[in-house]
């Protein structure tokens, strides 16, 4: 049995219910973006008073939010009807939403808020984590939808099973809301295709007759089996490996996902700031130890040990400070400047390598696999002087380094090896 409300309280109650669901389902540490137009100000006012977390308001008729700079994935839409909702989604869609974004849509005009029509529009914009709130003859309901066995269309809209319990203010329902308001919708693909962009990257990914294997390949087949999906492999459209961010777009395998050519990118790429910003990344499922090997340092005079912890500039300043009294003493004792010069001709060997840049400038080589190189994308000097090492050669190279086979009198090598 559903509770019914007086007509004059419908909009207020819809806003309060939306605030209650957002309070229990949204992440409080992130900003919630609220889009509205002037016809929905009353419901907006009620929601803002009920939801006291971090929010940002945008009147879509006056301004368009920059979602890339805002970096939000929690949305509240106050719309008058379904066509209004489509206009709002069109504004958001052109800015490439994250796939895990959550939406709560409050549709105020009951006669123009058909949930079936709304689900068709949401499916078109690939928005799955959504609750569509509407009024049905003074009855407030929340709807969502799921993936159907027909790959080209969604299921009919379904009223949320625990809707009435979740909007109760009791603390007992908090866990219930978190679990059931935004249920998992991708646990069963019903044999629908899962398009994966990847490429051969030994020893992690091998592809033989369209079947992936290796560390990443085996994992990919397990994922497809668990999801009950049909695997479809494609190669990066522009053959740029895992890809990079250039000219406000993405290339390579990540570019296939960014441009809606693939659902997933399966590559052993490094995790960088830009990749985390633009894509939903999996958690670490495998790790590699990083080992640094170099030749033993040359013996230095015990008189130089005092200067070892200091930087090059600090050493120079220390030496100059010690030399000033000596110079004054010499000038006072000797009047012939040629004799003074002979006192400064002694060369003192100092270790001038303090950073990776210093090592490369001294002639040392530095490098590893292409994936490790991405960690230095912000340091163009190291990035451009990177020495690539084949994955299969890393372990033999590490053995040679430990035996000092690569360090001759005229050979300088400084590499990182990981296994």
What residues does each domain of the chain span?
A: 7-174, 193-278, 307-343, 347-418
pLDDT in tens, 223-237: 999 999 999 999 998
Token readout for 46 is 């009620």
147 neighbors 190 (Cβ within 8 angstroms): yes
Mean pLDDT taken over the chain:
79
Rg (CA), the chain: 32
In CATH, the architecture of 7-174 is 3-Layer(aba) Sandwich (3.40)
Going by pLDDT thresholds of 50, 70 and 90, the confidence category of residue 161 is confident
What whole-number distance in Å separates Cα of residue 394 and Cα of residue 388? Answer: 10
pLDDT the model gives residue 403 = 63
> Is 2's pLDDT higher than 60?
no
Q: Do the Cβ atoms of 127 and 86 come closer than 8 Å?
A: no
Written as six digits, the tokens of 305 are 């040990």
Question: Could you tell me if residue 190 is left (phi over 0), alpha (psi between -120 and 50 degrees) or otherwise beta?
Answer: left
Q: What are phi and psi of 400, to 5 degrees?
A: -60, -40
Provide the pLDDT for residue 415: 41
Interval 35-55 mean pLDDT:
88
In b/e form, how buried is each residue of 349-388, taking b as 16+ CB within 10 angstroms?
eeeeeeebeebbeeebbbbbbbbbbbebeeeeebeebbee
- 193-278 folds as D-Maltodextrin-Binding Protein; domain 2 (3.40.190)
**The 130-136 sheet, strands edge to edge:** 55-59, 32-36, 74-79, 102-107, 130-136, 139-144, 158-159
Q: Beta-carbon neighbour count of residue 177 at 10 Å? A: 21
Nearest to 233 by CA among 259, 202, 267: 267
* Mean pLDDT value of segment 139-165: 87
pLDDT at 404 over 60: no
């Amino acid at each position: 049995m559903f509770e019914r409300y007086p007509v004059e309280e419908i909009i207020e109650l819809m806003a309060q219910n939306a605030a209650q669901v957002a309070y229990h389902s949204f992440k409080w540490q992130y900003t919630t973006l609220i889009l509205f137009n002037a016809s929905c100000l009353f419901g907006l006012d009620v929601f803002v008073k009920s939801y006291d977390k971090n929010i940002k308001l945008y009147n879509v008729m006056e301004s368009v939010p920059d979602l890339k700079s805002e970096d939000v994935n929690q949305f509240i839409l106050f719309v008058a009807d379904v066509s209004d909702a489509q206009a709002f989604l069109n504004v958001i869609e052109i800015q490439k939403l994250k796939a895990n974004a959550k939406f709560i849509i409050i549709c105020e005009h009951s006669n123009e808020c058909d949930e079936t029509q709304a689900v068709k529009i949401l499916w078109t914009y690939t928005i799955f984590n959504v609750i569509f709130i509407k009024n049905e003859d003074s009855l407030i309901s929340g709807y969502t939808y799921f993936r159907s066995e027909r790959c080209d269309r969604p299921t009919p809209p379904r009223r949320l099973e625990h809707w009435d319990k979740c909007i109760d203010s009791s603390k007992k329902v908090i866990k219930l809301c978190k679990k059931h308001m935004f249920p998992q919708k991708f646990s069963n693909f019903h044999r629908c295709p899962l398009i994966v962009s990847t490429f051969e990257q030994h020893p992690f990914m091998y592809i033989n007759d369209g079947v992936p294997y290796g560390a990443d390949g085996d994992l990919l087949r397990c994922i497809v089996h668990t999801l009950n999906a049909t695997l479809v492999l494609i190669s990066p459209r522009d053959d740029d490996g895992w890809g990079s961010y250039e000219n406000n777009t993405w290339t390579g395998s990540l570019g296939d996902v960014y441009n809606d050519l693939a659902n997933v990118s399966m590559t052993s790429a490094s995790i960088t700031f830009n990749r985390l910003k633009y894509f939903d990344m999996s958690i670490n499922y495998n790790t590699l130890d990083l080992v640094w090997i170099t030749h033993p340092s040359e013996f230095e005079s015990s008189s130089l040990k005092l200067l070892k912890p200091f930087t090059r500039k600090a050493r120079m300043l220390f030496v100059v400070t010690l030399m000033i009294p000596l110079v004054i003493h010499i000038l006072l004792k000797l009047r012939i400047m040629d004799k003074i010069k002979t006192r400064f001709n002694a060369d003192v060997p100092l270790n001038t390598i303090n950073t990776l840049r210093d090592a490369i400038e001294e002639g040392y080589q530095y490098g590893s696999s292409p994936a490790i190189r991405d960690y230095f994308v912000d340091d163009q000097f190291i990035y451009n002087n990177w020495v690539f090492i084949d994955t299969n050669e890393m372990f033999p190279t590490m053995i040679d380094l430990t035996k000092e086979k690569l360090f001759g009198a005229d050979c300088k090598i400084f590499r990182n090896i990981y296994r």
